[in-house]
Structure 1
Amino acid sequence: MRIIRYTNAQSLPQLAAVNEHEAVYNLEQADFISLVNEARDAGKSILEFVQALVSGKSPVTEKLDQLELLVPIEAPEVWAAGVTYERSREARNYEATGGKMDASTFYDKVYDAVRPEIFFKSTAARTVGPGDYVQLRSDSEWQVPEPELGLVLDSVGTILGYTIGNDMSCRDIEGENPLYLPQAKMWKRSCSIGPAILLKEAVADPYQFQITSTIYRDGEKVVEGTASTGQLKRKLEELVSFLVRDNEVFAGTVLLTGTCIVPPNEFTLANGDRIDIEISGIGTLINPVKSAD
């Protein structure tokens, strides 16, 4: 079962559930966290609660692909983990050494350390949803998307569900100096999430998600990569445990878990490109790319 938000006929955000047959059922709750709280008050899992809500109910007449989807949750904060896949470590080393393919850097220490890299990525105001555009940074010449599995959390770090995230990144800025990481990662419209939240109880094994990232330019496919969450160096709960440690986490926070798909080193995003990120069972997050204002 997936949870979405879309713009209804009254031009208002509408929470809805999507079953395995792609049927869409409107829900009365204002947002995902309200749904979670009501399920807990009823003593049910979120999945059981939603199944009871839609039982005997008629789906909306529109098909899922006909709806104007919004971010499935207006995450108060988005955090991200870095260097959690071998491919990410290789890419970070390449950036930090000016293009030396086999050079070793402090990113190797991060990859092998007990403590993972976790950084602040975005706020609700900086985060866009399905179909909306992500923006390029004006002072970077080497920018790429980073397709990632996102964890939707409650205030104590319980994983409620899974979504897709695009952690837009400036490889040249990060490679120049690791202290520039906030500028390499965080600017307006530099993060997208969606198109749905797949409830945790509906997932047998979160390390079996298949991820595909495709970039189109002038209607032509120019980059495509695939990966599996089974390639993660760290467990999801391990990443969450470091995020919540001595930290205040707000209900609805999203933690992106790192990328294993990196475009070729000679590639950079351009105005007019389109980024498609698909994760099995969740859907496809599609965002056009625009230059900085």
Structure 2
Amino acid sequence: MHRIYKLKSGVLFDVNGNFYLEEKIKDWNDFINNDDLFQSVIRIVAGAKKVENGLQLIDQEVLPPIDKQEIWASGVTYFRSREARKEEAETTEGENFYEKVYDAVRPELFFKASAQRTVGTNDKVNIRKDSVWNVPEPELTLFVTSNSSIVGYSIGNDMSSRSIEGENPLYLPQAKVYERCAALGPCIAVSNKPIDSGTRILMKIVRERNLVYEESVSINQMKRKHQELVSFLFKECEFPYGCFLMTGTGMVPPKEFTLKSGDEISISIDSIGTLVNTVN
């Protein structure tokens, strides 16, 4: 995988551990909304300036890899997610909804965030003040062009208020969409072939220097295919700048766990990198 980082000073490319900075790319939207993005990266790198301080540039200048795109999300795509949603909805007799959508032809898809409500790595995410049960949801995130082609992969954190969603499934938008509700980054990883089905997602949560949660899952545990989710998303929606699609979570902290201010959430995905956020 080649990695593309959106920086304050330009676009940084990581190709096999070598870093190249291109300062002439002025329109991020046009650049990434390209069905031939992988080959475009190869061509740009051939004429770009090689830099030795790539890691330092990422640490100091990296931005979330989004501008005019929307972020959408998928729900109940892993068996573990189905069971967790049934648990949180037990008191409202809503658990049957989640069992049905897991087995249905049509997947659960919902709008998650615009760039305004999205943060990048090393930034802060929010938890709702009117929710008593809040969790991060680590998700492989697809970048899809306006022609519905999957050309890149990123890491997403779909922050969720489980107490609100569990009270009533109709409260889903309030549980999912609020300020700093989504984290995305640190890059877009591109390849000339689909991501490996054995790719692992790892999440760690550190509280006051103590590891309080750690779990991993392989994306081959997903019930839905990536292109299947994209096909439903694009049935009646147009995305002139492309879009990001979170593909669902296979990790759910236990019922007694809830995020607290100061918690550090670290999500790593093989071949992509690590997304790190602190809870406000």
**TM-score (normalised: structure 1):** 0.89
Shift of the 24–222 alpha-carbon distance from structure 1 to 2, 3 Å rule, reads farther
Work out whether residues 80 and 255 of structure 1, in 8 Å CA contact, stay in contact via their aligned partners in 2: yes
For 1:214, the equivalent position in structure 2 comes to: 204
Range moving further from structure 2, 154-163 or 64-73:
64-73
Which residue of the partner structure matches residue 65 of structure 2? Answer: 72
Partner of 1:82: 75
Shift, 1:218, TM fit:
0.8
**TM-aligned CA deviation for residue 27 of structure 1:** 4.8
Answer yes or no: is the 8 Å Cα contact 1:26–1:60 preserved in 2. Answer: no
2 CA distance for matches of 1:273 and 1:241?
36
* Structure 1 unaligned regions, length at least 5: 9-13
2:89 aligned residue:
96
1:52 corresponds in structure 2 to 43
**CA deviations over 1:16-52 (Å, ceiling 9, x no partner):** 2111215243352124432246x66xxxx32222222
Distance 1:98 1:65 in 2: 49
* Separation in structure 1 between the aligned mates of residue 178 and residue 47 of structure 2, nearest angstrom: 45
| Inter-partner Cα distance in structure 2 for 1:118 and 1:273 | 28
Letter in 2 for 1:255: L
Q: 1:189 aligns with which of 177, 180, 189?
A: 180
Q: SS at the partner of 1:106?
A: helix
* Match in the other structure for 2:256: 266
1:158 aligns with 2:158: no
CA distance in 2, matches of 1:91, 1:217: 23
The answer as to whether partners of 1:168 and 1:191 remain within 8 angstroms in 2 is: yes
- The answer to whether the Cα contact below 8 Å between 1:153 and 1:251 also exists between their aligned partners in 2 is no
What do residues 145-170 of structure 1 show as CA deviations (whole Å, max 9, x unaligned)?
00001111112321120101000001
How far off its partner does 1:196 sit?
0.6
Amino acid at match of 2:22: N
Change over 3 Å in CA distance of 1:221–1:283 after alignment to 2 = same
Query: Do the aligned partners of 1:159 and 1:200 also contact (CA within 8 Å) in 2?
Result: no
The aligned amino acid for 2:138 is: P
Q: Distance in 2 between matches of 1:165 and 1:235?
A: 18
Tell me the equivalent position of 2:106: 115
CA contact (8 A) 2:200 2:216 kept: yes
Alpha-carbon distance between aligned partners in 1 of 2:275 and 2:202, rounded to the nearest angstrom: 10
Q: 1:127 aligns with which of 96, 105, 118?
A: 118
State the match for 2:189 in structure 1. Answer: 198
Aligned AA (1:88):
S
CA RMSD of aligned residues (A): 2.0
Report sequence identity in percent: 46
Counterpart selection for 2:237 from 229, 242, 247 = 247
Contact 2:12 2:19 (C-alpha < 8 Å) held by counterparts? no
Picking from 14, 19, 27, the partner of 1:18 is: 14
Partner SS state of residue 223, structure 2:
coil
Pair 1:233–1:270, CA change in 2 (3 A): same
Please identify, of 222-231 and 22-31, the stretch whose mean Cα deviation from structure 2 is larger: 22-31
- Amino acid paired to 1:224: E
Q: Structure 1 segments of 4 or more deviating over 3 A?
A: 203-206
Report Cα offsets for 1:107-164 as digits up to 9, x if no partner. Answer: 1100000000001111110111111100110100000000001111112321120101
The answer (yes or no) to whether the contact 2:71–2:113 under 8 Å persists in 1 is yes
CA offset at residue 73 of structure 1? 2.3
- TM-superposed CA distance for 1:5, in Å, is 1.0
Query: What is the number of equivalent residue pairs in this alignment?
Result: 277
Cα distance in 2 for partners of 1:147, 1:34 equals 28
Equivalence for 2:7? 6
The match for 1:275 is 265
Contact 1:95 1:172 in 2 (8 A): yes
Structure 2: give runs of 5+ residues left out of the alignment: none
**Cα deviation, residue 199, structure 1:** 1.0
**TM-superposed deviation, 1:75:** 4.8
Distance 1:204 1:187, change over 3 A: closer
Would the aligned equivalents of 1:17 and 1:27 in 2 still touch at CA under 8 Å? no
Aligned residue for 1:63?
54
